[in-house]
Chain A
Amino acid sequence: DAKTTQPTSMDCAEGRAANLPCNHSTISGNEYVYWYRQIHSQGPQYIIHGLKNNETNEMASLIITEDRKSSTLILPHATLRDTAVYYCIVRTYRDDKIIFGKGTRLHILP
Protein backbone atom coordinates (compact mmCIF):
# COMPACT_ATOMS: atom_id res chain seq x y z
CA ASP A 1 0.00 0.00 0.00
CA ALA A 2 1.06 3.57 -0.68
CA LYS A 3 2.55 5.30 2.37
CA THR A 4 1.22 8.71 1.36
CA THR A 5 -2.09 10.57 1.38
CA GLN A 6 -2.93 13.16 -1.26
CA PRO A 7 -6.10 15.08 -2.18
CA THR A 8 -7.97 13.49 -5.05
CA SER A 9 -8.04 16.64 -7.17
CA MET A 10 -7.10 20.31 -7.19
CA ASP A 11 -7.62 23.32 -9.41
CA CYS A 12 -5.16 26.15 -10.04
CA ALA A 13 -5.37 29.21 -12.25
CA GLU A 14 -2.88 29.47 -15.08
CA GLY A 15 0.13 31.61 -14.10
CA ARG A 16 -0.37 31.09 -10.39
CA ALA A 17 1.66 28.84 -8.13
CA ALA A 18 0.26 25.33 -7.72
CA ASN A 19 0.83 23.89 -4.25
CA LEU A 20 0.24 20.15 -3.99
CA PRO A 21 0.22 18.71 -0.47
CA CYS A 22 1.21 15.22 0.61
CA ASN A 23 0.99 13.54 4.02
CA HIS A 24 3.51 10.81 4.91
CA SER A 25 3.19 10.58 8.67
CA THR A 26 4.84 7.14 8.91
CA ILE A 27 7.94 8.07 6.93
CA SER A 28 11.18 6.52 8.21
CA GLY A 29 14.47 8.31 8.70
CA ASN A 30 16.06 6.82 5.60
CA GLU A 31 13.10 7.33 3.29
CA TYR A 32 13.02 10.00 0.62
CA VAL A 33 10.00 11.85 -0.74
CA TYR A 34 9.69 11.58 -4.52
CA TRP A 35 7.28 13.26 -6.89
CA TYR A 36 6.27 12.02 -10.33
CA ARG A 37 3.57 13.29 -12.63
CA GLN A 38 1.60 11.64 -15.42
CA ILE A 39 0.19 13.68 -18.23
CA HIS A 40 -2.78 12.09 -19.96
CA SER A 41 -1.85 9.12 -22.19
CA GLN A 42 1.84 9.33 -21.24
CA GLY A 43 4.06 7.45 -18.83
CA PRO A 44 4.94 8.98 -15.44
CA GLN A 45 7.71 11.59 -15.38
CA TYR A 46 10.12 12.18 -12.51
CA ILE A 47 9.90 15.68 -11.03
CA ILE A 48 11.96 15.97 -7.86
CA HIS A 49 12.94 14.22 -4.66
CA GLY A 50 14.24 15.17 -1.22
CA LEU A 51 15.17 13.81 2.19
CA LYS A 52 14.75 16.63 4.69
CA ASN A 53 15.99 19.81 3.09
CA ASN A 54 13.94 21.84 0.66
CA GLU A 55 14.84 21.15 -2.95
CA THR A 56 14.43 23.11 -6.17
CA ASN A 57 15.05 22.26 -9.79
CA GLU A 58 13.95 23.62 -13.15
CA MET A 59 10.52 22.01 -12.83
CA ALA A 60 9.46 22.54 -9.23
CA SER A 61 10.27 23.10 -5.58
CA LEU A 62 9.79 20.58 -2.78
CA ILE A 63 9.13 21.80 0.74
CA ILE A 64 9.39 19.17 3.49
CA THR A 65 8.21 19.99 7.01
CA GLU A 66 10.72 19.81 9.83
CA ASP A 67 9.12 16.66 11.27
CA ARG A 68 9.07 15.20 7.72
CA LYS A 69 5.47 14.08 8.11
CA SER A 70 4.26 16.13 5.19
CA SER A 71 5.52 17.93 2.12
CA THR A 72 4.37 20.30 -0.61
CA LEU A 73 5.26 20.29 -4.27
CA ILE A 74 5.23 23.78 -5.74
CA LEU A 75 4.93 24.55 -9.42
CA PRO A 76 5.80 28.27 -9.36
CA HIS A 77 3.99 29.42 -12.51
CA ALA A 78 1.51 26.79 -13.61
CA THR A 79 0.70 26.43 -17.29
CA LEU A 80 -1.96 24.40 -19.06
CA ARG A 81 0.73 21.79 -19.82
CA ASP A 82 1.02 21.12 -16.08
CA THR A 83 -2.43 19.52 -16.06
CA ALA A 84 -1.66 15.97 -14.92
CA VAL A 85 -1.90 13.46 -12.08
CA TYR A 86 0.82 14.10 -9.51
CA TYR A 87 2.10 11.22 -7.39
CA CYS A 88 3.85 11.64 -4.05
CA ILE A 89 5.94 8.57 -3.20
CA VAL A 90 8.04 7.57 -0.21
CA ARG A 91 10.94 5.18 -0.75
CA THR A 92 14.45 4.50 0.43
CA TYR A 93 17.30 5.42 -1.87
CA ARG A 94 18.18 1.77 -2.36
CA ASP A 95 14.60 0.60 -2.74
CA ASP A 96 13.76 0.11 -6.40
CA LYS A 97 10.08 -0.43 -5.93
CA ILE A 98 7.93 2.63 -6.52
CA ILE A 99 4.52 2.17 -4.94
CA PHE A 100 2.13 4.58 -6.60
CA GLY A 101 -1.08 5.70 -4.91
CA LYS A 102 -3.91 7.35 -6.81
CA GLY A 103 -2.21 10.75 -6.82
CA THR A 104 -3.71 14.23 -7.16
CA ARG A 105 -5.38 15.21 -10.40
CA LEU A 106 -4.32 18.83 -10.99
CA HIS A 107 -6.42 20.93 -13.33
CA ILE A 108 -4.88 24.17 -14.56
CA LEU A 109 -7.64 26.59 -15.45
CA PRO A 110 -7.17 29.19 -18.25
Chain B
Amino acid sequence: EAEVAQSPRYKITEKSQAVAFWCDPISGHATLYWYRQILGQGPELLVQFQDESVVDDSQLPKDRFSAERLKGVDSTLKIQPAELGDSAMYLCASSQRQGANEQYFGPGTRLTVT
Protein backbone atom coordinates (compact mmCIF):
# COMPACT_ATOMS: atom_id res chain seq x y z
CA GLU B 1 0.00 0.00 0.00
CA ALA B 2 1.34 3.44 -0.96
CA GLU B 3 2.44 5.64 1.91
CA VAL B 4 3.59 9.17 2.55
CA ALA B 5 7.31 9.17 3.31
CA GLN B 6 9.01 11.64 5.63
CA SER B 7 12.58 12.11 6.73
CA PRO B 8 14.24 12.36 9.08
CA ARG B 9 12.02 10.67 11.67
CA TYR B 10 13.80 12.43 14.51
CA LYS B 11 15.85 15.61 14.60
CA ILE B 12 17.62 17.33 17.47
CA THR B 13 18.96 20.80 16.81
CA GLU B 14 20.19 23.75 18.80
CA LYS B 15 18.25 26.98 18.82
CA SER B 16 19.23 29.45 16.12
CA GLN B 17 20.26 26.62 13.80
CA ALA B 18 18.54 25.81 10.51
CA VAL B 19 16.58 22.60 10.08
CA ALA B 20 14.78 21.02 7.12
CA PHE B 21 12.23 18.27 6.73
CA TRP B 22 11.40 16.32 3.59
CA CYS B 23 8.14 14.76 2.45
CA ASP B 24 7.34 12.49 -0.49
CA PRO B 25 3.56 12.19 -0.96
CA ILE B 26 1.68 9.27 -2.43
CA SER B 27 2.26 9.11 -6.16
CA GLY B 28 -0.32 11.06 -8.10
CA HIS B 29 -1.55 13.07 -5.12
CA ALA B 30 -1.85 16.68 -6.19
CA THR B 31 -2.47 18.19 -2.77
CA LEU B 32 0.17 18.22 -0.05
CA TYR B 33 -0.11 19.52 3.52
CA TRP B 34 2.32 20.28 6.32
CA TYR B 35 1.00 20.15 9.89
CA ARG B 36 2.61 20.88 13.23
CA GLN B 37 1.55 18.94 16.31
CA ILE B 38 2.54 20.11 19.77
CA LEU B 39 2.53 17.43 22.43
CA GLY B 40 -0.97 16.81 23.77
CA GLN B 41 -2.74 18.72 21.02
CA GLY B 42 -4.17 17.92 17.62
CA PRO B 43 -2.26 18.70 14.42
CA GLU B 44 -2.44 22.26 13.11
CA LEU B 45 -2.17 23.08 9.40
CA LEU B 46 0.88 25.14 8.48
CA VAL B 47 0.76 25.14 4.67
CA GLN B 48 -1.13 23.52 1.81
CA PHE B 49 0.06 23.01 -1.76
CA GLN B 50 -1.96 22.26 -4.85
CA ASP B 51 0.65 20.88 -7.25
CA GLU B 52 3.51 23.37 -6.91
CA SER B 53 1.40 26.32 -5.77
CA VAL B 54 0.72 27.40 -2.22
CA VAL B 55 -3.02 27.40 -1.54
CA ASP B 56 -3.00 28.26 2.16
CA ASP B 57 -0.08 29.40 4.30
CA SER B 58 -2.04 31.62 6.67
CA GLN B 59 -0.74 29.78 9.74
CA LEU B 60 2.87 29.52 8.62
CA PRO B 61 5.24 31.77 10.64
CA LYS B 62 6.83 33.26 7.56
CA ASP B 63 9.60 35.08 9.39
CA ARG B 64 11.31 31.75 10.08
CA PHE B 65 9.43 29.03 8.23
CA SER B 66 9.47 28.33 4.50
CA ALA B 67 8.03 25.56 2.38
CA GLU B 68 8.46 24.59 -1.22
CA ARG B 69 7.24 21.99 -3.65
CA LEU B 70 9.19 22.93 -6.73
CA LYS B 71 8.13 20.18 -9.14
CA GLY B 72 4.77 19.52 -7.60
CA VAL B 73 5.90 16.22 -6.13
CA ASP B 74 8.05 16.12 -2.99
CA SER B 75 8.26 19.00 -0.57
CA THR B 76 10.63 20.56 1.94
CA LEU B 77 9.76 22.51 5.09
CA LYS B 78 12.53 24.65 6.53
CA ILE B 79 12.92 26.49 9.82
CA GLN B 80 15.61 29.14 10.18
CA PRO B 81 16.45 29.97 12.89
CA ALA B 82 14.89 27.30 15.09
CA GLU B 83 13.47 28.37 18.45
CA LEU B 84 12.74 26.33 21.56
CA GLY B 85 9.01 26.65 20.91
CA ASP B 86 9.38 24.90 17.56
CA SER B 87 9.83 21.57 19.31
CA ALA B 88 6.95 19.49 17.95
CA MET B 89 5.96 16.74 15.53
CA TYR B 90 5.87 17.89 11.91
CA LEU B 91 3.45 15.87 9.84
CA CYS B 92 3.07 15.73 6.08
CA ALA B 93 -0.14 14.58 4.42
CA SER B 94 -1.36 14.23 0.86
CA SER B 95 -4.66 13.78 -0.92
CA GLN B 96 -5.66 13.08 -4.50
CA ARG B 97 -7.23 16.47 -4.99
CA GLN B 98 -8.60 19.39 -3.06
CA GLY B 99 -11.61 18.53 -0.97
CA ALA B 100 -11.02 14.77 -1.26
CA ASN B 101 -12.36 12.51 1.45
CA GLU B 102 -9.12 11.35 2.90
CA GLN B 103 -5.83 12.91 3.76
CA TYR B 104 -3.07 10.34 4.09
CA PHE B 105 -0.51 11.20 6.73
CA GLY B 106 3.15 10.30 6.95
CA PRO B 107 4.82 9.12 10.18
CA GLY B 108 6.07 12.61 11.00
CA THR B 109 9.36 14.17 12.04
CA ARG B 110 9.86 14.70 15.77
CA LEU B 111 11.87 17.91 16.24
CA THR B 112 13.56 18.77 19.51
CA VAL B 113 15.18 22.19 19.81
CA THR B 114 17.69 22.55 22.65
Instruction: Please give the residue numbers on chain A whose beta carbons come within 8 Å of chain B beta carbons, in ascending order.
Output: 2, 41-46, 49, 87, 92-103
* CB nearest neighbor in A for B91: A43
User: What 8 A-B pairs are tightest by C-beta distance, nearest first?
Assistant: A100-B42, A43-B105, A94-B99, A46-B102, A44-B105, A100-B43, A43-B91, A96-B98
Instruction: Please give the residue numbers on chain B whose beta carbons come within 8 Å of chain A beta carbons, in ascending order.
Output: 4, 31, 33, 40-45, 48, 55-56, 91, 93, 95, 98-99, 101-108
Secondary structure at the A interface, as helix, strand, loop or mixed, is: loop
Q: Chain B contacts of A93 at CB under 8 A?
A: 99, 101
B90, chain A: closest CB distance, angstroms: 10
Pull 18 A–B residue pairs with CB atoms less than 8 Å apart, ordered by A.
Answer: A41-B107, A41-B108, A42-B108, A43-B91, A43-B105, A43-B107, A44-B103, A46-B104, A94-B98, A96-B48, A96-B56, A96-B98, A97-B48, A98-B103, A100-B41, A100-B42, A100-B43, A102-B40
- CB pair A46–B103 under 8 Å, yes or no, is yes
Q: Chain A contacts of B105 at CB under 8 A?
A: 42-45
B26, chain A: closest CB distance, angstroms: 12
* CB nearest neighbor in A for B106: A43
Residue among A92, A94, A96 facing the most chain B CB atoms (10 A cut-off): A96
- CB pair A95–B99 under 8 Å, yes or no, is yes
- CB pair B93–A43 under 8 Å, yes or no, is yes
- CB pair A100–B44 under 8 Å, yes or no, is yes
| C-alpha spacing A49/B103, complex, angstroms | 12
Q: Chain B contacts of A44 at CB under 8 A?
A: 43, 91, 93, 103, 105
20 further A-B contacts with Cβ under 8 Å, apart from A42-B108, A96-B31, A100-B44, are A41-B107, A42-B105, A42-B107, A43-B93, A44-B91, A44-B93, A44-B105, A45-B105, A46-B102, A92-B99, A95-B99, A96-B55, A96-B98, A97-B45, A97-B48, A97-B56, A98-B103, A101-B42, A102-B40, A102-B42
Q: Chain B contacts of A94 at CB under 8 A?
A: 98-99
